[in-house]
């Protein structure tokens, strides 16, 4: 009899988690434990019943939600500690006067040697491969030289007056989920649009409109300093 109860409880728990995982806002609320568990149990009761194919009591769903909330909260605390530690050890740099150029793939492949040779003096030069394009981020004063090499007809889009935020982090960033999401969410919450984002080993490079550069730099620098105080 006890085994049957365990199976039933497990089924309710699995179904409850499945429903919660469909709704990011509910998942966040569970992580933070800022909700009414009884009300949430009533809210998702119908969906849980549809998944397991029978009627269940709201109290059973509530207990499943409480256990799931504890698990999520512990995991979130650990992850946030890891993220804050990485942010605290990150060094932020700002590079102004860069341009973003998107070109046809065959042009870059066929002329890569010439492009690299002509732009060897660039203080900033990044290439990202997409599914059917290449995007080049380069010093704006070398933009005309790049256009001459690849040909104006082979350029799909050019974005001028950009700045690059370069975050140099410890190697732990490679295996820690959520660091980039944390950084980009802070910028988004403050109205900073990201033109391009790329990574190279421990470097994260965020391209934004130059008009937002100082604001974005200040936002990220403040976060880094706050994390450093936390980890003293």
With 70 as the cut, is the pLDDT of residue 190 above it? Answer: yes
Instruction: Provide the CB-side half-sphere exposure for 115 (13 A, CA).
Output: 21
Would you give the end-to-end CA distance of the chain in angstroms? 54
Mean pLDDT over the full length of the chain? 90
Top-confidence residue, 6 or 43:
43
What is the C-alpha separation between 16 and 72, in angstroms, rounded?
14
Cβ atoms within 10 Å, residue 5: 9
- Fold of the domain spanning 89-230: VC0802-like (3.30.2130)
What is the C-alpha separation between 169 and 91, in angstroms, rounded?
7
pLDDT band at residue 1, thresholds of 50, 70 and 90?
A: very low
pLDDT (tens digit per residue) in 87-135:
999 999 999 999 999 999 988 888 888 888 888 888 889 999 889 999 9
Output the pLDDT for position 114: 87
Mean pLDDT (whole number) for 46-55 = 91
With 50 as the cut, is the pLDDT of residue 8 above it? Answer: no
Structure tokens at 122: 């660039």
What is the C-alpha separation between 58 and 20, in angstroms, rounded?
15
Domain residue ranges of the chain, discontinuous segments joined by +: 2-73, 89-230
With 70 as the cut, is the pLDDT of residue 2 above it? Answer: no
Output the pLDDT for position 108: 84
What is the C-alpha separation between 41 and 62, in angstroms, rounded?
5
DSSP one-letter string for 131-190: SS-EEEEEEGGGHHHHHHHH-GGGEEEEEEEEEEEEEE--GGGGG-TTHHHHHHHHHHHT
pLDDT band at residue 10, thresholds of 50, 70 and 90?
A: low
With 80 as the cut, is the pLDDT of residue 137 above it? Answer: yes
With 60 as the cut, is the pLDDT of residue 6 above it? Answer: no
Output the pLDDT for position 24: 85
With 60 as the cut, is the pLDDT of residue 186 above it? Answer: yes
Are the C-beta atoms of residues 93 and 166 closer than 8 Å to each other? Answer: yes
What is the C-alpha separation between 194 and 171, in angstroms, rounded?
24
> What values do phi and psi take at 131, rounded to 5?
-70, -35
Sheet holding 155-168, edge to edge: 125-129, 134-139, 91-103, 155-168, 203-209, 194-200
With 60 as the cut, is the pLDDT of residue 49 above it? Answer: yes
Tell me how far CA of residue 116 lies from CA of 42, 105, 126, 132, 140, in angstroms.
Answer: 62, 15, 11, 21, 16
Output the pLDDT for position 171: 95
With 70 as the cut, is the pLDDT of residue 199 above it? Answer: yes
Highest mean pLDDT among 2-6, 16-20, 70-74 belongs to 16-20
- What is the largest distance, in Å, between two alpha-carbon atoms of the chain? 79
């Amino acid at each position: 009899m006890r085994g049957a109860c365990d199976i039933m409880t497990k089924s309710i728990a699995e179904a409850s988690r499945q429903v919660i995982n469909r709704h990011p806002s509910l998942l966040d609320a569970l992580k933070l434990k800022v909700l009414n568990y009884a009300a949430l149990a009533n809210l998702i009761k119908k969906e849980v019943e549809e998944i397991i194919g029978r009627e269940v009591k709201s109290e059973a769903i509530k207990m499943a939600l409480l256990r799931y909330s504890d698990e999520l909260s512990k995991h979130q605390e650990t992850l946030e500690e890891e993220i804050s530690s990485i942010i605290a050890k990150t060094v932020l740099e700002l590079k102004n006067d860069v341009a973003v150029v998107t070109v046809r793939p065959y042009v870059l492949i066929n002329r890569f040697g010439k492009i690299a040779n002509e732009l060897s003096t660039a203080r900033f030069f990044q290439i990202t491969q997409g599914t059917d394009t290449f995007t080049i981020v380069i010093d704006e004063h070398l933009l005309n030289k790049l256009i001459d090499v690849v040909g104006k007809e082979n350029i799909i889009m050019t974005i001028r007056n950009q700045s690059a935020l370069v975050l140099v982090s410890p190697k732990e960033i490679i295996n820690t989920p959520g660091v980039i999401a944390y950084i980009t969410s802070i910028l988004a919450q403050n109205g900073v649009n990201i033109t391009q984002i790329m990574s190279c080993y421990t470097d994260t490079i965020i391209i934004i409109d130059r008009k937002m550069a100082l604001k974005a730099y200040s936002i990220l620098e403040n976060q880094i300093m706050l994390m450093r105080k936390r980890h003293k």
